[in-house]
């Protein structure tokens, strides 16, 4: 976790300019903190904002298409370090990205019952390129990933607690862990709407798990239908309540975009959401780095966040000229080994509860996007499935090691696992400059672009 923190927080202030979609979320976070809702900005706003003169926004509310919570979280960093400090822009996402490593370790410990393999999971996630870049950039997807991981951890706790309860009591009940799960999922949905896929998937899992557990204990499976309804109401009420609370700033600001579009606040809010839904379902504008869900799996079009070339400036350090780039390229060893591991779990281990959970997490983050192949989307959206690739790989490595014990080839398999981790580490060292925005010779950057379509 310490290594992951260094990678996520080191050189965080560079570049000192707004990177990629930071131009929306950092500036929105600033006006959100001042007024409770976002404001519009003139076209030349970035140069003033980056130079420490941020108050060039306009008085009219801004039409935004994501809920407020992620920007409130970014605002915490701005408030701590000052809006003129680029370190502060990215501080919150970097902290949540670092905590996410601890969550991966805790989740892997629940799934594997092994300190060694949970440590491997944490290390692999610490050096996973998607996770690194999205932790170091003040946009929403790294924040969403944190809440998804936190909700997944709570789901594991909820499932275990409910199974223990069924041994003693079979009556219908509201589960405290599910209330907490709903709260966290409501926070995730208050960052990006795509969290709804996880909420539905995790909710369905609670029903399926209850059904199977009752069958195992010889209890009436019909009661699972009633408990499923209780669970659905618990998750719906708790998550929606938190989601609604995240809009309080918009509700309290009469200048917010669309705030007074209808006679009542709830009608205005509903009308706004209809327009947001229309935006997301019909977004098809072309972008040079767009990539659909099938392309994510093979990393065919990683998203370039930043690219600049410098000649003889302080940006190059000891180099006379350099390239500074940030691209969300995954750790290729972790990513493709994780993909193979996920497919292996689906084919060979889907009856195992641990495998089911990891596969469901992956499907919740990836499968819905298959139905929106024509929508403008990007490779970095896949950051939310990267932890499930890491968990799948961890489960498969543990199985491989355990089989080695039975076959009396433990030492050989331990060496192979070690070599895999070392290879992933070497790939991380190779790509660290493009994950962290470090200056390198132009020729080195070209080496990192393994495929022509990456440029």
One digit per residue, the tens of pLDDT, for the chain of length 455 reads 789 999 999 999 999 999 999 999 999 999 999 999 999 999 999 999 999 999 999 999 999 999 999 999 999 999 999 999 999 999 999 999 999 999 999 999 999 999 999 999 999 999 999 999 999 999 999 999 999 999 999 999 999 999 999 888 888 899 999 999 999 999 999 999 999 999 999 999 999 999 999 988 888 878 899 999 999 999 999 999 999 999 999 999 999 999 998 989 999 999 999 999 999 998 988 999 999 999 999 999 999 999 999 987 777 888 889 999 999 999 999 999 999 999 999 999 888 989 999 999 999 999 999 999 999 999 999 999 999 999 999 999 999 998 877 777 888 899 999 999 999 999 999 999 999 999 999 999 999 999 999 98
Closest among 366, 302, 328 to 128, alpha carbons compared: 328
User: What's the Cα-to-Cα distance from 256 to each of 259, 260, 447, rounded to whole Å?
Assistant: 5, 8, 47
Instruction: Report the alpha-carbon distance of residue 12 to residue 371 in Å, rounded.
Output: 36
Burial 249-282 (b: 16+ CB within 10 A, else e): bbbebeebbbbeeeeeeeebbeebeeebeeeeee
Of residues 142, 153, 237, the one with CA closest to residue 202: 153
Q: Pick the closest to residue 361 from 389, 380, 333, 399 (CA basis).
A: 389
CA–chain centroid gap for 55, Å, is 31
User: What is the rounded distance in angstroms from the CA atom of residue 421 to the CA atom of residue 413?
Assistant: 12
Query: Rounded to an integer, what distance in angstroms lies between the CA atom of residue 323 and that of residue 307?
Result: 7
Do the Cβ atoms of 438 and 11 come closer than 8 Å? yes
Torsion on CA atoms 315, 428, 120, 362, rounded to nearest 10: 100
Report which DSSP code applies to 320: S
Length of the chain: 455
Measured between alpha carbons, how far is 406 from 401 in angstroms, rounded to an integer?
9
Specify the residue for token string 């997490």.
361
Extract the tokens encoding 330: 């995954």
């Amino acid at each position: 976790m310490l290594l992951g923190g260094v990678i996520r927080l080191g050189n965080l202030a560079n570049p000192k300019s707004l990177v990629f979609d930071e131009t929306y979320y950092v500036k929105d976070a600033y006006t959100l903190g001042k007024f409770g809702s976002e404001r519009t900005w003139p076209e030349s706003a970035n140069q003033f904002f980056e130079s420490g003169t941020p108050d060039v926004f306009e008085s009219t509310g801004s039409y935004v298409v994501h809920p407020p919570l992620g920007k409130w979280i970014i605002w915490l960093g701005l408030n701590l370090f000052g809006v003129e400090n680029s370190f502060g822009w990215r501080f919150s996402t970097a902290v949540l990205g670092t905590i996410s490593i601890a969550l991966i370790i805790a989740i892997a410990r629940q799934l594997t019952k092994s300190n060694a393999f949970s440590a491997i999971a944490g290390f692999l996630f610490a050096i996973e390129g998607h996770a690194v870049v999205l932790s170091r950039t003040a946009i929403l997807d790294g924040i969403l990933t944190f809440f998804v991981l936190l909700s997944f951890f709570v789901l594991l706790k909820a499932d275990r607690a409910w199974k223990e309860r069924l041994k003693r009591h079979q009556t219908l009940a509201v589960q405290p862990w599910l209330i907490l799960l709903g709260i966290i999922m409501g926070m995730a949905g208050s960052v990006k709407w795509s969290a709804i896929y996880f909420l539905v998937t995790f909710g369905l899992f609670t029903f399926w798990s209850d059904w199977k557990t009752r069958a195992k204990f010889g209890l009436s499976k019909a009661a699972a239908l009633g408990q499923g309804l209780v669970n659905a109401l618990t998750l719906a009420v708790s998550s929606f309540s938190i989601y609604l609370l995240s809009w309080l700033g918009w509700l309290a600001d009469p200048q917010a975009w669309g705030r007074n579009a209808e006679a009542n606040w709830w009608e205005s809010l509903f009308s706004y959401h209809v327009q947001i839904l229309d935006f997301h379902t019909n977004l098809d504008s072309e972008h040079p780095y767009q990539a659909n869900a099938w392309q994510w799996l093979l990393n065919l079009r990683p998203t370039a966040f930043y690219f600049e070339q410098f000649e003889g400036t302080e940006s190059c350090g000891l180099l006379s000229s350099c390239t500074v780039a940030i691209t969300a390229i995954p750790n290729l060893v972790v990513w493709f080994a994780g993909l193979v591991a996920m497919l292996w779990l689906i084919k060979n281990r889907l009856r195992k509860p641990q495998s089911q959970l990891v596969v469901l997490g992956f499907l919740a983050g990836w499968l819905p996007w298959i139905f929106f192949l024509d929508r403008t989307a990007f490779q970095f959206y896949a950051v939310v499935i990267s932890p499930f690739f890491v968990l799948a790989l961890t489960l498969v490595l543990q199985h491989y090691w355990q089989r080695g014990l039975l076959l009396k080839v433990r030492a050989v398999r331990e060496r192979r696992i070690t070599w895999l981790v070392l290879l992933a580490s070497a790939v991380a060292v190779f790509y660290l400059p493009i994950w962290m925005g470090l200056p390198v010779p132009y020729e080195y950057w070209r080496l990192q672009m393994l495929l022509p379509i990456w440029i």
